[in-house]
Amino acid sequence: MLVVTRFFGGGASSVSVNIVGGSISDVWYGDQARSVPMSLFGFTSVVGIALGPFVGSAIQQIHKSNPWRWIFYIRIIYNVALIPVFYMILRETRGNVILKKRAQKLHHETGHSIYAESDLDTRSMWKLFQVSF
């Protein structure tokens, strides 16, 4: 129950709490357009905190032998179900990825040698891992 409470109550959502505001400002422009997405984000945060103990106790009552495993199974099912939804709804907001796609499209349409800055970066995969870690 503690795991589900921490998951729905913010334990596993610390990254999204820090990133969602920026993503919302990247995807929706203007105060009017951002009001509904920000409201939904705030609402889901509060509802998650309220429903965490309820969902955890329900899982524990249904699966008495190994309830902790079922907490993770349900999270996996939930996350796998959301992947196609996110893929269809959310747009790319990372600048270098957008520029790379534009450069590829222009290269394909015109035949000219058009490259994005990220295409010209020839660092090895090992070096990228070193920089990331």
Kindly provide the residue ranges of all beta strands, DSSP E only, lying in the chain, ordered along the sequence. Answer: none
CA 27 to chain centre: 13
Question: According to the model, what pLDDT value does residue 6 have?
Answer: 46
The Cα 46–Cα 17 span in angstroms is 12
Provide the token pair at 47.
Answer: 């509802």
Whether the per-residue pLDDT at 1 is higher than 50: the answer is no
Place of tokens 């993770």: 72
The Cα 2–Cα 76 span in angstroms is 17
Q: Which amino acid is at 38?
A: M
How many CB atoms neighbour CB 112 within 10 A? 8
Provide the token pair at 123.
Answer: 């660092």
Contact in structure between 60 and 5 (CB atoms under 8 Å): no
Residue 67, classed as helix, strand or coil, is helix
Give pTM, 2 decimals.
0.49
Please write the tens of the pLDDT for every residue from 52-85. 888 888 888 887 777 778 888 888 898 899 889 8
Contact in structure between 47 and 3 (CB atoms under 8 Å): no
Whether the per-residue pLDDT at 11 is higher than 70: the answer is no
Q: Give 3-state DSSP helix, strand, coil % of the chain, rounded to 5.
A: 80, 0, 20
Question: According to the model, what pLDDT value does residue 14 have?
Answer: 62
Question: According to the model, what pLDDT value does residue 13 have?
Answer: 56
